[in-house]
Amino acid sequence: MRTVLEPASFAPSVHNSQPWRFRLLPDRIELHADVERSLSATDPDARELRLSCGAALFNLRVALHGLGVRPLVTLLPGNAVPGALAAVRRGGVLRPDDEHRALLRAVPVRRTNRRPFFESGVDGRRRHALVRAAELERAWLHVFTTREDVARMKYLVRRAHQIQLDDPGAQAGHRRVPATACRPPPRGSARRRRTSGRSATSATTVCRGRTTSRTRWCSSSARTTTVR
Ligand SMILES: Cc1cc2nc3c(=O)[nH]c(=O)nc-3n(C[C@H](O)[C@H](O)[C@H](O)COP(=O)(O)O)c2cc1C
């Protein structure tokens, strides 16, 4: 379980809230939203919460595929199972190829890049690869290419940021995200040695073991994947 839940916990999440929980059942892993980690002021529709959970689901699939398991994902919109967003089952054997192995290696070292942008644009080949990757996930990536579009986007981002800074409710919501939500960089990685700007983490486990029935809950993050 650690082998697949740890990579899942390395997913990006809004304000590093890691708003997911995994329910471990004999035939499946369910992904649930952890509403205690929602940010009601800045994310009232829980859209960014769901995007974060989607990223964790993606990493979970990558990890299962890395073990040679074809992940069979059922999205569970409309509360088919209360609170569950998705269920992942074993769908037979799927051997990882080179591209997949590279993706798996990237999971623990991926990091949100907040450094300044280059003046030059992203070259066409990389843009195409990004658009294709989004399409494979049944999403789409809109690429801004004209100066006017980029300037407008810059203005909107700045304005949105300022609105949030001026909103005491939003600021309080961000402070409310449990400190345990912050995950440390993976052991031995270059990131661990760098100052990343994220909060220090405690070694507290937030793994919620339930001994009744065969259900186990795990709020997955690097130090919480000990599943009893
Ligand atoms: C739905 C979503 C929205 C995000 N929004 C922002 C954002 O507005 N600004 C930002 O700097 N990072 C944003 N992030 C990145 C997170 O802050 C980042 O994933 C989190 O702090 C964990 O850091 P890591 O990605 O380096 O592991 C977002 C991530 C997700 C999944």
Cβ atoms of residues 18 and 183 within 8 Å: yes
Going by pLDDT thresholds of 50, 70 and 90, the confidence category of residue 218 is: low
Q: Domain for residue 63, yes or no?
A: yes
Compute, in angstroms, the gap from residue 156 CA to the centroid of ligand 1: 17
Mean pLDDT of the chain: 80
Six-digit token string for 127: 């843009």
Average pLDDT over residues 63-71: 97
Distance CA 80, CA 19 (A): 19
Using the predicted structure, report yes or no on whether residue 44 has a pLDDT greater than 50.
Answer: yes
Q: Which residues pair with 72 in a beta bridge?
A: 89
Using the predicted structure, report yes or no on whether residue 32 has a pLDDT greater than 50.
Answer: yes
- CA-based angle 3:50:161, to the nearest 5? 115
Residue 12 belongs to domain with CATH number: 3.40.109.30
Six-digit token string for 176: 């409310």
Distances (CA, A) of 154 to 89, 107, 142, 158: 42, 29, 15, 6
Average pLDDT over residues 32-55: 91
Distance CA 50, CA 170 (A): 18
Going by pLDDT thresholds of 50, 70 and 90, the confidence category of residue 100 is: very high
Q: Domain for residue 134, yes or no?
A: no
Q: Domain for residue 65, yes or no?
A: yes
Compute, in angstroms, the gap from residue 13 CA to the centroid of ligand 1: 5
Using the predicted structure, report yes or no on whether residue 125 has a pLDDT greater than 90.
Answer: yes
Compute, in angstroms, the gap from residue 211 CA to the centroid of ligand 1: 34
Q: Domain for residue 161, yes or no?
A: yes
pLDDT given at position 156: 96
Q: Domain for residue 228, yes or no?
A: no
Going by pLDDT thresholds of 50, 70 and 90, the confidence category of residue 77 is: confident
Helix (H, G, I), strand (E, B) or coil at 226: coil
Q: Domain for residue 137, yes or no?
A: no
Tell which one of 6, 9, 13, 107 to mutate to probe ligand 1, the residue whose CB is within 8 A of the most ligand atoms. Answer: 13
Q: Domain for residue 224, yes or no?
A: no
State which residues form the domain around 164.
Answer: 2-111+146-218
Atom of ligand 1 nearest to the CA of 161: 8
Six-digit token string for 82: 């209360």
Give the other-Cβ count within 10 Å of 63's Cβ: 21
Going by pLDDT thresholds of 50, 70 and 90, the confidence category of residue 216 is: low
What digits encode the pLDDT tens for the residues 171-214? 777 776 654 444 554 444 444 333 333 332 322 222 323 223 34
Q: Domain for residue 122, yes or no?
A: no
Calculated CA dihedral for residues 64, 70, 76, 82, nearest 10 degrees: -50
Question: Which residue's CA is the closest to the ligand 1 atom numbered 8?
Answer: 14
Compute, in angstroms, the gap from residue 120 CA to the centroid of ligand 1: 23
What digits encode the pLDDT tens for the residues 136-173? 999 999 998 888 998 999 999 999 999 989 988 887 77
Distance CA 10, CA 63 (A): 11
Pocket of ligand 1 (CB under 6 A): 12-16, 48, 51-52, 55, 111-112, 114
The count of domains in the chain is 1
pLDDT given at position 86: 96
